[in-house]
Amino acid sequence: MTSPTYTQDLTLTANAYKLISLLFGPPSDGLEEVLTHLEQTLAILKPKLIPLVNEMKSLSDSESKLEDLTVDFAKLFIGPFDLLAPPYGSVYLDGQRRVMGDSTVKVLKFYRQAGLNLSDEFKEPPDHIVTELEFMYYLMAKHIETGDTHWLLMKEEFFEDYLSQWIKDFVARIQENAKNNFYKNLAQISLELFS
């Protein structure tokens, strides 16, 4: 079970989750480094996705391009009017944006059970894609750290019961509505990694 390649694969997968989580955050200067890490990670995990990452790099390598991204990001994920691709699980699972709907409470319970709470700095509700991906990363990291399989089981359960139930609809909405290939590619990579 704990062969070096097994651990390495787990580490890379965890990192991929973390990196995608970061990419679903607001576009910033740090994108280049994150994309470079993603490229290296995918080189072993899924090499065929590397061209997508390279295109994303080229779409974010200048101030003006970052501005374009910010506009696209806002339309897709922030509003102020109808979100084109709401990044909240409850929208897909409860049929509406419910800050503390049934599915959100369920997610919160998962976090609590893992000994986690929402960070004071991150002002989004518990069912945000960034939070959920970070949670997946955390569970894998804990498994790698402790060797205890219950973390991995928890991750699988969280994915099965929750994240997998809405992520496909979410990325489909991005692919449909994004103007910029950056987010279309991010959606494609997410889809490939989570199916």
Query: Which spans of this chain sit near another protein (rule: CB under 8 A)?
Result: 4, 7-8, 11-12, 14-15, 18-19, 21-22, 25, 33-34, 36-37, 40, 105, 108-113, 115-122, 124, 128, 130-131, 134-135, 137-138, 141-142, 144-146, 148, 150, 153-154, 157
The least CB distance from residue 142 to another protein, in Å, is 7
- Which lies closer to another protein via its Cβ, residue 15 or residue 185? 15
User: What is d(CA 8, CA 175) in angstroms, rounded to the nearest whole number?
Assistant: 31
User: What is d(CA 166, CA 93) in angstroms, rounded to the nearest whole number?
Assistant: 7
Confirm if 76 and 177 have CB atoms less than 8 A apart.
yes
Q: Is 133 exposed, middle or buried (0-12, 13-18, 19+ CB in 10 A)?
A: buried
The least CB distance from residue 117 to another protein, in Å, is 5
Rounded to the nearest 10 degrees, the angle between the axes of helix 181-193 and helix 63-73 is 60
- Rounded to the nearest 10°, the torsion over CA 83, 76, 13, 34 is -140
The least CB distance from residue 188 to another protein, in Å, is 22
The least CB distance from residue 179 to another protein, in Å, is 26
- Which lies closer to another protein via its Cβ, residue 7 or residue 175? 7
| Beta pairing partners, 128 | 88
- Which lies closer to another protein via its Cβ, residue 82 or residue 120? 120
